[in-house]
Amino acid sequence: MRAYERLIQYVKVHTASSLDTETTPTTYRQFDLSRRLAREMRAMGMAEVYEDDYAYVYGTVPASPGLEQKPCVGFIAHIDTVPEFSGANVKPRLVENYSGEDLPLGSSGRVLSAEKFPHLRALKGHTLITTDGTTVLGADDKAGVAEILTACERLLNSDLPHGRVVVCFTPDEEVGHGAALLDIDRLGADFAYTVDGGELWEINYETFNAASAHWDVTGLSVHPGSAKDMMVNASLVAMEINAMLPAGDVPAHTEGYEGFFHLTGMSGAVDKAELDYIIRDHSAALYQARIESMRHIEHLINAKYGPGTAKLTVQEQYRNMAERLKHSMGIVELAKRAIEKAGLEPQLIPVRGGTDGAQLTYRGLLCPNIGTGGYCCHGPYEHISVENMDLAVQIILNIAGEVIRR
């Protein structure tokens, strides 16, 4: 079976995670796909297939005879889709011999625009897989799942020499919990790769350092007619807090290695207000400086309006995995060779976000990220091509081949 055939089956299974529950998985429907994958893995002859109580699925492709002592490589992808846009009733469309021009998405009124998405020109002649414009496709990251399992099937049914290959498919990556309960010992990999990126030539081993910041602002509400020198309007104080942050350090004005403060939510009245931010920076020093800037603002606001007016709560989310991987760049070089063997020129691209691999790397499993060949995830314009998926499978197989040459 080819990877795209698997993808078309998987995306029809509704697996969106949720921001509103604290269980793992955050939605029970993720078991619908995890159990299906476990059955499929057993049917194709994978060993040590195991699905736990949290919808994590593990499996092994045993090493070729004589190669049992070679390093064990892992491949990881996630089964959930983004909660912010519908992943129910997905209707994937196959567009053969794509023209490279604008492509209407069903009757939704949405159009894949070659002007807005210039990479589409490079997909001319490919067989495109798109949505009907009303849902996500779910190639993020069911394409990664499909590509990994297709590569495993190829290894099991060919004489391609390889060491032990292990896989894990995780829930809840889209809400930041995908790596939290992954059993590294059960997986048994010496190192691993998440297959959860975009361009096939990308290798990601640098992520943001990340934290969330929550502000509780307490005001003093009195009758506005007699408020002189007494009222403290919490909503206005919240606006003042935001105004004290650098206006250019926001996602809309930053790129590459530039960090930011991102206001994700706000609410308020005269007596109470709240602000929610995420803080991001690739540099550990600048990341810490951003947190200290917020703490300084907290001090200034409380000095101006009185103790307890502003309360800042910062929670670390993940760290830049480059801090660990920079001492073990051999696995990044291995991925580069695998991509070159597929006829592409590899590029090291920093992730303006995080990956499951970032958490796993800090837990002790070095885990950079490689691409699936998909585009425009997290919305109705998501798409991928059959040819890109075939090439992604080849890159995974190339990695398995390169491991035994280490």
Residues with catalytic function: 80, 173
Query: Would you say 194 and 369 are in contact if contact means Cβ atoms under 8 Å apart?
Result: yes
Which whole-number Å values give the CA distances from 25 to 9, 17, 39, 53, 209, in the listed order?
A: 21, 8, 19, 9, 25
Measured between alpha carbons, how far is 248 from 258 in angstroms, rounded to an integer?
11
The DSSP code sequence of 125-149 is TS-EEE--SSS---HHHHHHHHHHH
Structure tokens at 141: 């990251």
Q: Please confirm whether the linkage preceding 53 is cis (ω < 30° from 0).
A: no
- Checking DSSP bridges between strand 383-385 and strand 272-281, what pairing results, if any? unpaired
Query: Residue 224 burial (CB < 10 Å; 0-12/13-18/19+)?
Result: exposed
SS3 309: coil
Quick one: three-class SS letters along 144-200? HHHHHHHHHHHHHCCCCCCCCEEEEEECCHHHCCCCCCCCHHHHCCCEEEEEEECCC
Query: Residue 403 burial (CB < 10 Å; 0-12/13-18/19+)?
Result: buried
For residue 122, give the DSSP letter: G
Place of tokens 């939605």: 27
Measured between alpha carbons, how far is 330 from 22 in angstroms, rounded to an integer?
38
Chain-centroid distance of CA 179 in Å reads 11
Measured between alpha carbons, how far is 213 from 86 in angstroms, rounded to an integer?
28
Rounded (5°) CA angle 98-102-106: 85
Measured between alpha carbons, how far is 127 from 29 in angstroms, rounded to an integer?
30
Cβ atoms < 10 Å from Cβ of 154: 17
